[in-house]
Amino acid sequence: MNGETWDKMYNAHYMRVFSYVMTLAGDRHLAEEITQDAFFRAFSKSESFRSEADEVTWLCAIAKNCFLSEKRRQGKTEPMPETAPAGDVSVEQQTEDRDSSFRIHLALHALEEPYREVFELRVFGELSFRQIGAIFGKTENWARVTYHRARLRLQERMCEQ
């Protein structure tokens, strides 16, 4: 691929890959670093792209590997950053929202793999079932079934709390 083709691919897919990495990392700066590293690796190994998968799926798979490499390098997991509260929401509403959000994150964290990752890819990464299946090397139908099972398990855990 030439430089112009890569520029187009970068501009077309950066935000989707970044969003996916953001769901994995939970940290904007780390997600930016990993996304850049993923595009660099993809550019360096462009001959390995066989056009069997969608470009964004290929890039997300590279990004996932970059993320896992970074986590192994760090040897630890860092807590998710807290979000800044909205300016026009009451303190009571902020507290309730924070509690609900925390309960959801606890339930999501308790989901076993691959349910948690498939759910995060679909909801936070906004990937299609076809793309999720390709990332895992499975079918689109597998991704659909896994996502729906994850939703059911998440709902069950939310009801238990």
pLDDT tens digits for 111-141? 888 888 888 888 877 888 888 888 899 998 9
> Over 80: is that where the pLDDT of 52 sits?
no
Domain ranges of the chain: 1-78, 90-161
Of residues 81 and 144, the one with the higher pLDDT is 144
- Average pLDDT score, the chain: 77
pLDDT, residue 84, reads: 44
> Over 70: is that where the pLDDT of 47 sits?
no
Query: d(Cα 121, Cα 34) in Å, to the nearest integer?
Result: 16
Question: Side chain identity at 79, as an amino acid letter?
Answer: P
**What's the pTM?**
0.47
Highest mean pLDDT pick, 49-58, 99-108, 138-147: 138-147
Query: d(Cα 67, Cα 123) in Å, to the nearest integer?
Result: 19
Fold of 1-78: Rna Polymerase Sigma Factor; Chain: A (1.10.1740)
Alpha helices in the chain (DSSP H): 3-25, 28-44, 55-74, 91-110, 115-123, 129-136, 140-160
Indicate the length of the chain as a whole number.
161
CB within 8 Å of 103: residues ≥ 6 apart: 158, 161
Fold of 90-161: Arc Repressor Mutant, subunit A (1.10.10)
Of residues 64 and 158, the one with the higher pLDDT is 64
Alpha helices in 26-54 (DSSP H): 28-44
- Band (pLDDT 50/70/90 cuts) for residue 80 is very low
Of residues 15 and 79, the one with the higher pLDDT is 15
